[in-house]
Chain A
Amino acid sequence: MKKWLSVLELHAAMRFKRVLLVLGTMIVLQMLSFWILGDQSNTQTFFQVLGKIKYGWIFALGFLAMYWALSWPLGRNETYSYTLQRLSVTERGSVWMKFIFNALCFVPLVIVQAGLILLMAKIFEAGKPFAGNAHGILIDLEKDGMLHALVSFSNPAQVIYRIVYILIATACATHMEVLFARKQTPILSFIPPVILLLINNIWYDEFHVAFAAAIIISVICMITALVRCRGKKPLRDILEQQEV
């Protein structure tokens, strides 16, 4: 168990700075857009403010940046796999540890976004006690598809949707990292994040088919990532291309 946790810790240690950078940048951009674009003086409802600040697209940027943080190679020659292959923890085990770490990074991304919206609502309410009362804000949250999914923790269907959403993102990020480490382009795992972002920002209501497609593709991605790490020969793909 200690060895497995050690691998998880390693993944975290190698990438946590990037993850913090992404979270921090998203918080700053969201708050800046709230103060600058929100134009609260001429706004009657919190829903109008949300319409102006394009928070969904900033979240989309944060979401994509999180993929970069979790999967983009750390250096020009990322060959630490030579060390990972000499451990008693299998490379497949290492991929599962990576999966867990990725999930632990996407969860705060969603929580931070939900927290920011609630914070903005609180600030709006404080500034406009008549327009921004708690009841009105609650209605606003219900009106917005993405917000509804983000903050409706009491609705089990929405909670399950959000968990599946995070698992899709996690599987794709894991697949991306495995393929990037082999100097391959993970085309397949780019598709589900794009679908998820379109669901968030454009296809609010009729998303079931697209969401199902994202689930299927992400499962394929995860299986592919695990199959790639077969025993002690995961670097074969790179080495085949190198000079003898």
Chain B
Amino acid sequence: MIEIKGLSKKYGSTQALSDVDLQLRPGEIVGLFGPNGAGKTTLIKSIFGYIPYSGSITLDGEPVTRKNITRLSFATCEHSFFPNIDAKAHAQFYKDHFESFDEKRFNVLMEFFSLPKDKAIKHLSTGQQNQFEVIMALCQGADYILMDEPFAGNDIFNREDFYKVLLGMLGPDECVLLSTHLIEEVSGLINRAVLIDKGRIIGDVQLSELEESGRDLMDYIKKSFSYRSDRVFEALDQLVPEEERHEEMA
């Protein structure tokens, strides 16, 4: 289990994360939702120790170090692959460094998404690069797969395929933390939603709980973020008088 306690992070005078407590358990697929600048990326990078922070992050009771970091994998829209080498060389490199690299899964996914294995990754399209980034994270053999906006730039059909494949192939103990803005799309994939705003966790719910209480994820999120749809009309009223707007609409 990844256990985060009292995690705080400041960039200059900006408080990026403030006293965050969170647990990620084996087998969970967790959606991490929040507006831009809420602290999603900072939270994920803190788990890996890519940035300094205050607080505690442990993996099965141990701090995350080189000894256990291979149990975590990372897919990011910034991309963490090696741009000048091809997929085959990536697979070999991962095999050398990650003992539990799943070559079978790698081959199946590469074929499923029709990605070339002998072309430097920098020559693939952005969408294909995103696919490759996610494939490497899924095939590393990690227990915890952390993804930060991995599908930015992919079309809807592509993303749908990914969700289906992901659901079908994940092992019972594999945990996925998926940071994304595509709430409705992933609502059928995740089993828990964590909401973050201004560096604080403002919501944490199992989707089964929502179902039992007859609510849906979008409503829960809107309520948690105190979303006011009337703000749109207020803004429009200031720009275009209401009668004029009605006339145009008519």
Does the CB pair B81–A3 fall under 8 Å? no
Q: B41 on the interface (CB 8 Å rule)?
A: yes
Q: In whole angstroms, what is the CA distance A2 to B96 when docked?
A: 7
Chain A's interface size range is 20 to 34
Q: In whole angstroms, what is the CA distance A10 to B85 when docked?
A: 8
Q: In whole angstroms, what is the CA distance A13 to B49 when docked?
A: 28
Does the CB pair A236–B76 fall under 8 Å? no
Q: A79 on the interface (CB 8 Å rule)?
A: yes
The residues of B that contact A239 with a CB separation of less than 8 Å are 45, 50-51
Q: In whole angstroms, what is the CA distance A231 to B64 when docked?
A: 12
Q: Shortest CB–CB separation between residue B74 and chain A, in angstroms?
A: 6
The residues of A that contact B97 with a CB separation of less than 8 Å are 3, 6, 87-89
The stretch of B24-32, B65-73, B104-112, B154-162 in contact with A is B65-73
For the A-B complex, the count of residue pairs with Cβ-Cβ distances under 8 Å equals 101
Restricting to B18-62, which residues have a CB under 8 Å from any CB of A?
36-37, 39, 41-42, 45, 48-52
Does the CB pair B66–A236 fall under 8 Å? no
Does the CB pair A236–B52 fall under 8 Å? yes
Does the CB pair B78–A79 fall under 8 Å? yes
Q: Take A6-B96, A85-B48 as given contacts and tell me if A79 and B42 are in contact as well, using a CB distance cutoff of 8 Å.
A: no
Does the CB pair B49–A233 fall under 8 Å? yes
Does the CB pair A13–B89 fall under 8 Å? yes
Q: Take A15-B84, A232-B66 as given contacts and tell me if A77 and B78 are in contact as well, using a CB distance cutoff of 8 Å.
A: yes
Q: B93 on the interface (CB 8 Å rule)?
A: yes
The residues of B that contact A17 with a CB separation of less than 8 Å are 84
Q: Shortest CB–CB separation between residue B174 and chain A, in angstroms?
A: 17
Q: A206 on the interface (CB 8 Å rule)?
A: no
Does the CB pair A86–B42 fall under 8 Å? no
Q: B122 on the interface (CB 8 Å rule)?
A: yes
Does the CB pair B80–A82 fall under 8 Å? yes
The residues of A that contact B73 with a CB separation of less than 8 Å are 86
The residues of A that contact B69 with a CB separation of less than 8 Å are 85-86, 232
Restricting to B133-171, which residues have a CB under 8 Å from any CB of A?
none
Q: Take A74-B84, A83-B81, A244-B37 as given contacts and tell me if A232 and B50 are in contact as well, using a CB distance cutoff of 8 Å.
A: yes
Does the CB pair A244–B14 fall under 8 Å? yes
Q: Quick one: closest B residue to A90, CB to CB?
A: B66
The residues of B that contact A205 with a CB separation of less than 8 Å are none
Q: Take A87-B97, A244-B42 as given contacts and tell me if A80 and B50 are in contact as well, using a CB distance cutoff of 8 Å.
A: no
Q: Mark A143-174, 1 if CB is under 8 A from B, else 0.
A: 00000000000000000000000000000000
The residues of A that contact B48 with a CB separation of less than 8 Å are 82, 85-86, 232
Does the CB pair B50–A82 fall under 8 Å? yes
Q: A14 on the interface (CB 8 Å rule)?
A: yes
Does the CB pair A79–B96 fall under 8 Å? no
Choice from B37, B50, B67, B199 contacting A85 with Cβ under 8 Å: B50
For the complex with contacts A79-B76, A79-B79, A239-B45, 18 further pairs of A-B residues with Cβ separation under 8 Å are A3-B97, A9-B93, A10-B85, A10-B89, A13-B85, A13-B89, A75-B83, A78-B83, A80-B79, A82-B80, A83-B80, A86-B72, A86-B74, A88-B97, A232-B48, A233-B49, A244-B14, A244-B199
